[in-house]
Structure 1
Amino acid sequence: MTRYPLIAVLAAWLVSNAAAEELHLYNWGDYINPQILGRFTEESGIKVSLDVYGSNEEMLAKLQAGATGYDLVFPSVHMHDSMAALGLLEKTHINQSEGFKNIDTAFLRAKSDPKGEYCLPYAWGTVGIFYNKSQVSKPIESWADFFAEAQLGKKVTMLDDVRETLGVGLIVNGKSVNSHNAEDLKQATDWLLQRKPLISAFTYDVQALVASGDVAAAHFFVGTSLIYAKSDPDNLFVVIPEEGATLYQEDMCMLKSAPNKENAKRFMEFFLRPEIAAMNAAQQMNGTINRAAIALLPAELRDNPQINPPEKVRAKLQIFEDLGRDLRQYDRAWTRVRTAD
């Protein structure tokens, strides 16, 4: 009489055990070295799946629409704060793990997580201008140069991103990218609207077009641009504009709804290893937050001023913060820019 209940218990255990050997990541398009995922699986036996998104807003909207099954997400630091406010994140105590001693605590920027009890800061970089020297009249050094090329009939693009692109308008007008002032935002919006006829597209899909010469210059992420620039160093260049730029930081966060919490924590601790952090930074060509990993980077990456800018450039970099309810102002302004003729 006990046979079938025992079988049922065994079956339930097998299902639970199988689920425990999985890990589901939801990350930006190409922001993690696939070799790292393979190495983690090889060492742990945990099968990793990866879904990708194109923006913080896309990721959050999908989760709020009811998407389930993800264990780790990789929000920018301002979205880390937004997700914390919504109660979406699990406290991991990753800051108590042995490898956390490698983390540069200057990157504990999330106001909701100043000690690193929830998320692991893991990557940072800047957003600038990627251009093809063969397609422009002179080297681009500023946003003024960027739009001067557009006035000459050259194709230029900007990111399809509310914060990044409105951020350019704020920066060139001497304002904070986190301004809550309606007049500051109007000035940035008007600046963009005046130049919209010069912008061929708002898009993320542009690296190959710049490399081929179909687009002369693009507003894009510096690290990803440098990956393409290696293929044609005589013509493909990346610059942080003289007026300033945005600095982004990506954090690794466990969702409160994560079905595989133990495996997610194991992956976070795996990423604390200097050699793993260095492997990711070298492939992504962005900055690492793991201090012990810096010495493991190739010199051309470690000493590259576009990836690790000098102090006078860093002083002009701004990082996004959570805007709270004022994000609606930005959304309305962005809709105005995107829908204007």
Structure 2
Amino acid sequence: MTILKGAFRRLGLVALTALLPTAVLADELNIYNWGEYINPAVLQKFEEETKIKVNLSTYSSNEEMLAKIQGGATGYDIVFPSVHMQEIMAKLNLLEKTDINTYEGFKNIDPKFLRAKSDPKGEYCLPYAFGTVGILYNRRVLGKDITGWKDLVATVKAKRLKFTLLDDMREVLGVGLILNGHSVNSTKSEDLQQAADTVIDMKPYVAAFTYDSRPMVESGDIAAAHFFVGSMINVFGNPKDLGYVIPEEGATMYQEDMCVLKTAPNKANAIKFLQFYTRPEVPALNVAQQTNGTPNVPARQLTPENIKNSKEINPTDETMKRLQIFENLGPGLRQFDRVWTKVKTAQ
């Protein structure tokens, strides 16, 4: 994932930052997570039950988190990498084997979310949360519901409206790749050039590349925004005017896992937190605030009715087949950098 994605990903809020704890005590747990990607009520519940003090620090991207860990930060216990970053961290020998898969509560995890090739059995990390990246739109402005990218572009073109794209290299080029029938992980030069050209063709109708788009959609200043499923919180607040769609052409999905660092000073407390999070009522409490998906199957039935019944938050099996997840591209990422510059500078 690229810089600045995570803090805005689900709720579009500015990431909170906390200082790394200066002292590490036996009754503490130091969590390092994406900005506002966990319900404070979850941490409070853990503290009340265990009497373990939780210190939360936040980051805005996978890259920021990895740089901090590789830079020598040793006070953190738990991190939440995206699947492709988990693979990188596993190769760098940064993750502790927790054997969380032997814990009774692990039976609640849907096996299809054991996506990390480096951890196919869940011996290291616990699948945490997932979601889609689709389109938040204002049907009052558009005058209709939309079905996907082609429908959106045709509508804004006809009505002389504007929409926004995320300021995220892989997500935006992923749209171009999907619209041309390619994998979002393709590093073929011809595929990426075609994707770039597709996005450049959209630019006359693009108001900005930004994460700060939800208020603009709500107010009607723009017709729609490329955004994360966490924007369902806006839809629930104004269902008459707002909608969120997983494009019919396909979309990307994200998944983060909960991992314990090899350098964790509080490994026993960290494993207690992983075990705590396998209990269905805990991820259900998190989802109620986050409006994204959970790999914990029984937890889905404990969420509020509007979330439980949402096919945007809990896609059908048919929809899941249209979703793609980012992989670690290694040196191939340079190909993306080159065409991204072309997209951003095109007039």
Distance 1:242 1:235, change over 3 A: same
Structure 1 pair 305–81 and aligned structure 2 pair: CA distance change class (3 A): same
> 1 CA distance for matches of 2:221 and 2:95?
42
Give, in whole Å, the separation in 2 of the partners of 1:63 and 1:288. Answer: 26
Would you say 1:125 and 2:136 are equivalent positions? no
What corresponds to 2:117 in structure 1? 111
Gaps of 5+ in 2: 1-21
Max radius of gyration: which structure?
1
Cα distance in 2, alignment partners of residues 329 and 123 from structure 1: 29
* Alignment-derived partner of residue 206 in structure 2: 199
2: CA distance between counterparts of 1:40 and 1:130?
34
Task: Give 1:208's aligned residue.
Answer: 215
Partner of 1:319: 325
CA distance in 2 between partners of 1:62 and 1:198 (Å): 38
Pairwise CA distance, 1:235: 0.3
| Aligned residue in 1 for 2:226 | 219
Q: Residues 49 and 201 of structure 1: is their aligned pair in 2 closer, same or farther, counting only changes over 3 Å?
A: farther
Q: What residue in structure 2 maps to residue 264 of structure 1?
A: 270
Preserved contact between residue 232 and residue 244 of structure 2 (Cα < 8 Å): yes
Aligned positions of 1:1-341 closer than 5 A: 19-151=25-157, 152-222=159-229, 224-341=230-347
For 2:312 and 2:39, the matched residues in 1 are separated by: 20
* Residue identity opposite 2:65 in structure 1: M
Change (3 A) 1:196 1:268: same
1:245/1:316 contact within 8 Å kept: yes
Compared with structure 1, are the counterparts of its residues 257 and 237 closer, same or farther at alpha carbon in structure 2 (3 Å cutoff)?
Answer: same
* C-alpha contact (below 8 Å) 2:105/2:275 kept by paired residues: yes
Cα offsets for 1:102-124 (capped at 9, x unmatched): 11111111011111111100211
> Is contact 1:171-1:244 (8 Å) kept?
yes
- State the 1:211 CA deviation: 1.6
Contact 1:131 1:216 in 2 (8 A): yes
Question: TM-score under structure 1 normalisation?
Answer: 0.88
CA contact (8 A) 2:135 2:225 kept: yes
CA positional deviation for 1:81 = 1.0
Supply the RMSD in Å over aligned alpha carbons.
2.2
Equivalent residues of 2:34, 2:60 under 8 A apart: yes
- Deviations along 1:200-241, one digit per CA (max 9) or x if unpaired, are 22222222222222332111111x111111111100110111
Give me the TM-score of the superposition, normalised by structure 2: 0.87
Shift of the 18–73 alpha-carbon distance from structure 1 to 2, 3 Å rule, reads closer
Q: What is the number of equivalent residue pairs in this alignment?
A: 326
Q: CA distance change for structure 1 residues 139 and 291 in 2, over 3 Å: closer, same or farther?
A: closer
Distance 1:66 1:195 in 2: 43
Identity of aligned residues (%): 60
The answer to whether the Cα contact below 8 Å between 2:136 and 2:244 also exists between their aligned partners in 1 is: yes
The whole-number CA distance in structure 2 between the counterparts of 1:302 and 1:31 is: 19
Deviation at 1:63, TM superposition (A): 3.3
Are the counterparts in 1 of residues 177 and 191 from structure 2 also a CA contact under 8 Å?
A: yes
Q: CA deviation at 1:155?
A: 2.9
Residue in structure 1 matched with residue 3 of structure 2 by the alignment? none
Distance of aligned partners of 1:155 and 1:27 in 2 relative to their CA distance in 1, 3 Å threshold: farther
- Residue 11 of structure 1 is matched in structure 2 by none
